[in-house]
Amino acid sequence: MNHSKEFLAIAAKASQQVGHTDIETVKRWQQEQRDFLLIDVREDHEWAKDHLPDAIHLSKGIIERDIVARVVDFEHILVLYCGGGFRSSMAGDNLQQMGYNNVISLDGGYGAWKKAGYQLVTPA
């Protein structure tokens, strides 16, 4: 997908504000059953096709509205992902502005996970 320079500028600024991790780390955390919440911020149709195991869905369009009802602990580790990392960085920046202190964007997002051949969940 070709992104506008304006979009890329906003995404780059947001990316500087949030922590980042890679797919190998998230995969290891899942295997270790580490206490973190994996949040898919992609659109509904993307989630419905397939998504990462153990993820919940709060799309970028609603996450700021609905997150407090789902995650009351502002210290909980939140790993956000999207298709490639732009939307998750922007959503993560917003969550930090709301007071969440452990927000991480998954570098490469869904695309990197799929390319690595890691398991995806396809809803029934």
> Residue 72 and residue 3: Cα distance in Å, rounded?
34
Residue whose token pair is 């500087």: 16
**82 catalytic, yes or no?**
yes
Whether 1 shows a pLDDT value over 80: the answer reads: no
Of the candidates 51, 22, 54, 17, the residue with the CA atom closest to the CA atom of residue 37: 54
19-115: which CATH number, 3.40.190.90, 3.40.250.10, 3.40.140.10, 3.30.450.20?
A: 3.40.250.10
Of 11, 82, 91, 104, catalytic: 82
User: Which tens digits make up the pLDDT trace of 76-103?
Assistant: 999 999 999 899 999 999 999 999 999 9
Domain layout of the chain by residue ranges: 19-115
Q: What is the pLDDT of residues 105-116, one digit of tens each?
A: 999 999 999 999
Number of Cβ atoms within 10 Å of the Cβ of 106: 28
